[in-house]
Amino acid sequence: MSPRCDRPPSRLILLAPIQPARTGNGLAMRAELFRRAAARDFHVRTVVVPVAGWTRRGSEASDGDVVLAPDAVRARKGVRALLADPRWRRRLADAGTLPPLACAASPGMVDAVTDALDEHDPVAVHVMRSYLGPLGAAVAERLEAAWATLDLDEDDAAFSAATGDVQRARAYERLLDAFGGCFDRLSAASAAEAQAIADRHGLTVRRIPNAVELLPGPVRRSRDPRSGLSLLFVGNLTYAPNVGAGYALVQEIAPMVRRRLGRRVAVRLVGSHHPDLQRLSAADVEVAGFVSDLAPVYAAADMVVVPLKLGAGTRIKLLEAFAHRVPVVASPIAVAGLEVSDGQHLLVAEGAEHTAAAVAAVATDHALATRLVNEAAELVRERYSIEAVIPAIRDFVAPAARVDSRPRQPSGAL
């Protein structure tokens, strides 16, 4: 690929599988983080191929943004056209059967994307998630983009393997082998996962952490220990690991906490969910669904409990709880990839019994709870606030503003 002229790109195309938003879905929040950072230096247009979730009112949008529904018929025609190019025949042969989300956001949709954009100025392209990599590569080539980057967010292959889906794990591995080198730079949220992907595929992968808004406010008020305890879990409850965590909190952990404390324990699950999850609703259990403004939700909670048993990337919702100054108890999986310390920023506990004991400890020790929220809020300010992370993203895409008319040489490969 080569840029159209020797002017640096003035526009950046953000290709995402969900509409960027400042709250709600964690991936939507990460997409919004990249959009806000890139907007400091480029005019950003967002193209959403919503294979990872629904768009919602209140999501961030601006003039010129595009939402395209997957179109299987047009995608098949587009793939046939791509196969006329020997490079694409080789890439698609190497990739083999693509993961389901990559099939839904097929590279054959390249015409639909570029027709909707109708771009004439030099552009850079940033793509969110590995499964949009093939489509992103096709869009970057079609637009003769001067610079193209890919945010993997998490290690999809390792996560699929951890769930026992070996076939899908191998599909993600082949996808990155075939398309990772099409991008100038790649990133991931977790340092450990970035290194694992780099080692596995011979790619350079930068760590760009998740980030949240840093909220002003005083230390949370002391609550009467004789009153009921309100436990909160916030997340996308169509995502299987989050669903499992919700069930564990309601059915295992909360009853143990009630027995330990001898008082009412209420649980609130907040996030988009399958209707079947409503079966958990009870006198002390609320399945709240999507909430556009989470500030009152966090303000009403005594504690956030995140008993994940499986996951990948880093938990942006855990950072959000820190920013809202709510004490957190979480599993080792939930804190993986975050620079947190047990007993300093939160309590880390594995298994229902240990988690219940940790919840009871925070609930009955105001000094401990206060210390945790203060240290966690300071951690967010220093390392995980929007303003702390945006410079790293601007640096990540900065070369796009300096490219010249020489052919683009992707630097993903070592």
What would the pLDDT profile of 194-231 be if each residue is shown by its tens digit? 999 999 999 999 999 999 988 875 445 455 555 689 99
* 404 within 8 A of 4, measured Cβ to Cβ: no
Residues 6+ apart with CB under 8 A from 314: 154, 189, 190, 209, 210, 336, 337, 338
User: Does residue 143 sit within a domain?
Assistant: yes
Q: Which of 54-58, 130-134, 202-206, 296-300 has the lowest mean pLDDT?
A: 54-58
pLDDT above 60 (res 4):
no
User: Does residue 243 sit within a domain?
Assistant: yes
Provide the pLDDT for residue 323.
94
Specify whether 260 is located in the same domain as 353. Answer: yes
Residues 6+ apart with CB under 8 A from 387: 214
Residue reference for tokens 């047009």: 74
User: Does residue 5 sit within a domain?
Assistant: no
Provide the pLDDT for residue 58.
43
Residues 6+ apart with CB under 8 A from 224: none
Specify whether 284 is located in the same domain as 328. Answer: yes
Specify whether 119 is located in the same domain as 21. Answer: yes
pLDDT above 70 (res 407):
no
pLDDT above 60 (res 409):
no
Start-to-end Cα distance in the chain: 19
Provide the pLDDT for residue 370.
94
User: Does residue 272 sit within a domain?
Assistant: yes
pLDDT digits (tens, 9 = 90+) for 226-259: 568 999 999 888 888 888 899 999 999 999 999 9
Provide the pLDDT for residue 7.
55
Provide the pLDDT for residue 374.
94
Specify whether 190 is located in the same domain as 297. Answer: no
For residues 9 and 289, the model is more confident at 289
Specify whether 200 is located in the same domain as 241. Answer: no
| CATH number of the domain bearing residue 252 | 3.40.50.2000
Q: What is the mean pLDDT of the chain?
A: 88
Specify whether 207 is located in the same domain as 304. Answer: no
**Number of compact structural domains in the chain:** 2
Beta strands in 285-383 (DSSP E): 285-289, 303-306, 328-330, 347-348
For residues 146 and 104, the model is more confident at 104
pLDDT digits (tens, 9 = 90+) for 109-167: 999 999 999 877 778 999 999 999 999 999 999 999 989 999 999 999 999 998 899 99
User: Does residue 216 sit within a domain?
Assistant: no
Q: How far apart are CA 236 and CA 247, in angstroms?
A: 14
Specify whether 173 is located in the same domain as 278. Answer: no
Provide the pLDDT for residue 383.
94
pLDDT above 60 (res 414):
no
pLDDT digits (tens, 9 = 90+) for 357-377: 999 999 999 999 999 999 999
User: Does residue 224 sit within a domain?
Assistant: no
Specify whether 164 is located in the same domain as 240. Answer: no
Specify whether 145 is located in the same domain as 245. Answer: no
Specify whether 140 is located in the same domain as 271. Answer: no
At CA 210, angle to CA 208 and CA 211, rounded to 5?
120
User: Does residue 340 sit within a domain?
Assistant: yes
Q: How far apart are CA 70 and CA 109, in angstroms?
A: 8
Tell me the residue range of the domain where 144 lies: 11-211+387-401
User: Does residue 1 sit within a domain?
Assistant: no
**What mean pLDDT do residues 383-397 have?**
94
Specify whether 22 is located in the same domain as 143. Answer: yes
Tell me the pTM: 0.87
Specify whether 317 is located in the same domain as 397. Answer: no
